[in-house]
Structure 1
Amino acid sequence: MVVQLSWLRTFVTVYRLGSFTKAAQSLELSQPTVTHQVRNLERTFGKALFERVPQGVVPTCAADLLIRDVQGPVDALGGVVERHFGGSSDSRPLCVGGPAELITSRVVAAVSDLIADGLRINFRFGLADNLLDRLTSGDYDLVLSTVRPRLRGISATTLVDEEFAMLASPELADGVPAGQIMKEGPAAVLDKYPLIAYAESLPIIRRYWLTVFGVRPTSAPSVVIPDLRGVLAAVKSSAGISVLPTYLAADALRHGEVVKLLEPEIPPINTFYLATRDGSLCHPDLSLLHGHLLMKARTWG
């Protein structure tokens, strides 16, 4: 029985992407070549590995069993080939995706010692769904996601919980009676003040309102800034009120540049996950980075 490594690599890629066409694009092969390699593997294996559906292909039970044994070694060997035969004696940079705010305010500092020791990292910013799609296709090695991945071939480890707080500048907060907010409801009090939002749909603010007040916000945002660091800057300048993760506002809170308008008994939280392709932690650099982030996240405020 002769099984070529290229067949196994193609099988792993098709399994992860759920499509011969996407696998061909990812591997830079023609679709007939991908189909031929999978069929060769099926003939050698003696079992069907995929069933065709309108959206692509779905793995059979035999494929689910095979992927567990081959994806780790295939990823690890791919890393070896890249390091020793990829045209450079150095390993390629790890590609890490996540929210710009978390990466710039926490992750970069957390991995600075690894970078000083020679680890190479390329950071990419974006929304969770897009980043996870790129992780699945092999473009990224690790994604910090605010969404627990439900994708085939992707594993997630809880990294840290972020806590949300409703914030204002001290000057603006003087006119916002906290007790009155809970007594009369947010609309009666907070609608008088400009609302600074990350997006027009108010994703963070809406979660806070529903958790703390049990209702949705009734006012539209006065200003939309698609970067939480910009939202924080607007709040500090007394442009209005907003809801932000406390890790991002920690320094501003400590220096009195912003204050919490409420101290709810159970503050809203959101969980960050470290997402990787199954078996990819066999790569020593990725395993080092993954474990280092888990350790450092324990100290994030």
Structure 2
Amino acid sequence: MDLALLRTFVTVHRAGSFTRAAALLGLSQPAVTSQIRTLERQLGRPLFLREARGVRPTSLGDELAHKMAPHVDALLEITESGLDEDGARHTLHLAGPPEFTALRVLPALTPLVGQGLAVRAAHGMADELFEGLAAGRHDLAITTTRPRGRLLTATPLCDEEHVLVGAPRWAARLGGAAVVRDKGVRSLEHLPVVEVHESLPLVSRYWTAVFDTKPLAAGTVVVPDLRAVLTCVIAGAGIGVLPRYLCGDALDTGEVVDLLDPPVPPLRTYFLVVRAGTLAHPHLARAHEWLLRAAVSW
């Protein structure tokens, strides 16, 4: 079967539109339509249903795409690198929260770097990341906010658990998790708080989820990222709310203590966000799929 037909099929499936697929492939829309019709004739069944705003895959189209896409990507990568005299090196422009990117995402992508992928990482707030994606400055972003509209598409990546932590001396002063559980938020009101922003985003989320109220005190120490929050909490500057992946080692060694163990811990979801249709690029699709597989163990 013609590799060009398979590439067009995978691109249309990812783009959700003949028009967007044509732009990604550098073809005219009639050429894309003709290739899909040729493939449908060869298979004897329709692969897409035409709709007002694009196309929707049939059950056969979905099944074929999920089975076929990784193999088509691999063949295209081999073909393209073989035709490039310099041994084409693709660059992934990635953006996301600095801590999660450094501790989770970049280590997970290291095997792809060893296979020729170059990575450029940036960070910023969700609105900045969405703007960068839309403008083409980023290829893939990790955010804790799902974008609106049809230009960007988001796939849930993983959930992170938030933990209320403090140095052992603060835990001793409070009397332990049982006291905090019995007295509730009143037991914490007099303690200094370490956060990443004056608005106390993590503490406010935790207080709302666990205590059904907002924190009354302002941040005592405000630092630029969550790794600095952990350092300050370990040093005894105050209590803080941190994702478990970030403070897990410090909890295991006793440098910090979990001040409360709520029945339902607060969670935050991370999303992989891309521009619609860009997963037609094999190196981007491969990184996207690689991160989804890695996140299963996060």
Alignment TM class, shorter chain as reference: 0.7 to 0.9
Question: Could you tell me how far apart the structure 2 residues matched to 1:276 and 1:226 are?
Answer: 26
Distance 1:69 1:285, change over 3 A: same
Q: Is the 8 A contact 2:108 2:294 kept in 1?
A: yes
Determine if the alignment matches structure 1 residue 179 to structure 2 residue 128. Answer: no
Helix, strand or coil at the partner of 1:271: strand
Spell out the pairing of 1:20-31 with structure 2 (5 A cutoff): none
Q: Is the 8 A contact 1:153 1:277 kept in 2?
A: yes
Tell me what 1:70 maps to. Answer: 19
Spell out the pairing of 1:1-301 with structure 2 (5 A cutoff): 68-77=17-26, 90-177=88-175, 178-186=177-185, 188-300=186-298
- Give CA deviations for 1:211-240 in whole Å, capped at 9, x if unaligned: 000111011110101200000000111111
Distance 1:77 1:247, change over 3 A: farther
Question: Could you tell me how far apart the structure 1 residues matched to 2:16 and 2:290 are?
Answer: 27
Question: Could you tell me how far apart the structure 2 residues matched to 1:246 and 1:208 are?
Answer: 13
Kindly provide the amino acid, as one letter, of the partner of residue 183 in structure 2. E
- Give CA deviations for 1:10-61 in whole Å, capped at 9, x if unaligned: xxxxxxxxxxxxxxxxxxxxxxxxxxxxxxxxxxxxxxxxxxxxxxxxxxxx
Which runs of 5 or more structure 2 residues have no equivalent in the other structure?
Answer: 1-14, 28-76
Distance 1:193 1:117, change over 3 A: same
Question: Could you tell me how far apart the structure 1 residues matched to 2:150 and 2:83 are?
Answer: 30
Cα offset for 1:169?
Answer: 1.4
Question: Could you tell me how far apart the structure 2 residues matched to 1:217 and 1:227 are?
Answer: 20
Q: Is the 8 A contact 1:195 1:221 kept in 2?
A: yes
Tell me what 1:48 maps to. Answer: none
- Give CA deviations for 1:199-220 in whole Å, capped at 9, x if unaligned: 1001110010010001110111
Helix, strand or coil at the partner of 2:141: strand
State the TM-score, normalized to the length of structure 2. 0.72
Cα offset for 1:183?
Answer: 3.0
Distance 1:271 1:136, change over 3 A: same
Question: Could you tell me how far apart the structure 2 residues matched to 1:220 and 1:111 are?
Answer: 38
Question: Could you tell me how far apart the structure 2 residues matched to 1:161 and 1:262 are?
Answer: 19
Question: Could you tell me how far apart the structure 2 residues matched to 1:232 and 1:162 are?
Answer: 16
Cα offset for 1:87?
Answer: 11
Aligned length: 232
Q: Is the 8 A contact 2:90 2:283 kept in 1?
A: no
Which runs of 5 or more structure 1 residues have no equivalent in the other structure?
Answer: 1-65
Q: Is the 8 A contact 1:76 1:280 kept in 2?
A: no
Question: Could you tell me how far apart the structure 1 residues matched to 2:195 and 2:239 are?
Answer: 9
Kindly provide the amino acid, as one letter, of the partner of residue 115 in structure 1. V
Distance 1:119 1:220, change over 3 A: same
Kindly provide the amino acid, as one letter, of the partner of residue 203 in structure 1. P
Tell me what 1:4 maps to. Answer: none
Q: Which moved more, 1:169-178 or 1:88-97?
A: 88-97
Kindly provide the amino acid, as one letter, of the partner of residue 243 in structure 1. V
Question: Could you tell me how far apart the structure 2 residues matched to 1:267 and 1:72 are?
Answer: 42
Question: Could you tell me how far apart the structure 1 residues matched to 2:247 and 2:125 are?
Answer: 21
- Give CA deviations for 1:47-102 in whole Å, capped at 9, x if unaligned: xxxxxxxxxxxxxxxxxxx98222134224499xx999999762441101000000
- Give CA deviations for 1:77-129 in whole Å, capped at 9, x if unaligned: 499xx999999762441101000000111111111111111111111111111
Q: Quote the RMSD (CA, aligned, Å).
A: 2.5
Helix, strand or coil at the partner of 1:216: coil
Question: Could you tell me how far apart the structure 2 residues matched to 1:87 and 1:77 are?
Answer: 21
Distance 1:77 1:299, change over 3 A: farther
Question: Could you tell me how far apart the structure 2 residues matched to 1:263 and 1:96 are?
Answer: 35
Kindly provide the amino acid, as one letter, of the partner of residue 166 in structure 1. L
Q: Is the 8 A contact 2:129 2:141 kept in 1?
A: yes
